[in-house]
Every structure is written in structure tokens, then in C-alpha cells.
Amino acid sequence: MAIRVGVRMSVCETKRLSDVSVVSVSKLFFVLLILSVYAVPVFVPGVLGVDGDDVAVSAVDRAEVAVASAYVAVLDVEEAGVDVSGLLAELNVAGRYLAQAHVWLGLGDFDEATRFADLCYGIAEDVRNEAYGLINEDHGPWVTDSVVRMTGSIVGVVVVVFLGFVVWRVFKRRYRRRVLGLRPEVVKVES
């Protein structure tokens, strides 16, 4: 038992996917494709793109750190007493490349700035590695000499202690023989 009221409702039919025509689907696809093509430049540079300015600045910063590190290594080698004239000449070349990188960065040519910064970084790393190699070569004989001296000292102490023990035993035996070999003399006391 249903009660019908005199109000007529509009009937809205939903179409099934099979009822939608191929033309309307292709139009929808085409519109979405056009929208996505226009939306790509908005999102891609922030996610995938890298500015040439950022790359150049980071390359120059990396080169500056490498030159400073190489300079400290050369200074350590010089304090150790090694001739560092060749290293200083190479460090000067790295400094010139770094100066060129700064000039090109200031002019806005980021490719050249990156190229010179990379050249500077390579030379500075080579200088630093060579300096540490010279330090190791300089310390090699010193370390060997120290080990020989320590070993000699330890062996010397052991020999002195051993010989002291042997001499003490020999002295003790001779002393006992003398003391035990002595016989008391009987002396008459006249009174």
C-alpha cells in the first residue's frame, strides 16, 4: 500500500559507461591532455629543473673549500720541513682558476664559471693528496727510527736486569763459600 502524492519528481537517469559515446570520451581525453601540457611547465622546474646559477655557485663554493683544504695540507707539510715549492706552484694555478670562476660567475656565464671551478677543484684535490703523501713519506723513516729505538731500549733494560740477576747470584755463591769456609779461631784468653 503506497500512498501517492500529487507531486511529480523529475527523473534523472544515470548513464552507464557503455552508454557514453566514444566521441565524448575522446573530447574529455583531449581536454585533459591540453590542460596537462599547460600545467607541466608550472610544476617541473620546481621538481626536476636546476638553475645554472645554483650549480655554478655550488661549484665555486666547493672549489673554495678544496683550495682552503689544500692550503692547510701544504702548510702542514711545510711545518714538517719538506720542500713545498712545487705544491705552492700548483696551488697558485688552482687559485687562478678560482679567480676566473669568480669573474665568470659575476659576468653571468655560469657554464664557464662551473668549468673553471671544476678545474680548480681537481687541482686543489691533487695538491692536497700529494701533500698528505709527502707527510707520510717524511714520517715513514721517523716512525721506523722510533720503533727501532723503543725496541732497543726495551731489550737493553731486559739485558741489564738479567745480567744484574746473574751477577747477584754469582756474588751470593762466592760470598756464601767464603763465609761458610771460614772457621772460627779459638783464642785463649789469659786472665
What CATH code is carried by the domain that includes residue 101? 1.20.140
The stretches in the chain having pLDDT less than 70 are 1-25, 40-52, 138-140, 142, 182-184, 186, 191
pLDDT at residue number 15: 56
Contact 87, 127 (CB under 8 A): yes
Give the span between the Cα atoms of 101 and 117, in whole angstroms. 5
Give the residue from 116, 127, 126, 128 showing the smallest Cα distance to 63. Answer: 116
Minimal CA–CA distance to 119: which of 130, 109, 127? 127
pTM for this entry = 0.50
Question: Quick check: is 137 in a domain?
Answer: yes
Is residue 7 in a domain? no
Check residue 85 and give its pLDDT: 87
| 96 in a structural domain | yes
115 part of a folded domain: yes
Q: Examine residue 74 and state whether it is found in any structural domain, yes or no.
A: yes
Q: Judge whether 148 lies within some domain.
A: no
**How many distinct structural domains can be found in the chain?**
1
pLDDT at 40: 67
Determine, yes or no, domain membership for 20: no
* Residue span of the structural domain in which 100 resides: 52-142
pLDDT recorded at residue 49 = 45
Q: What is the largest CA-CA distance in the chain?
A: 171
pLDDT at 118: 94
Report if residue 169 sits inside a domain: no
**Selection from 123, 117, 61 nearest residue 94 by Cα:** 123
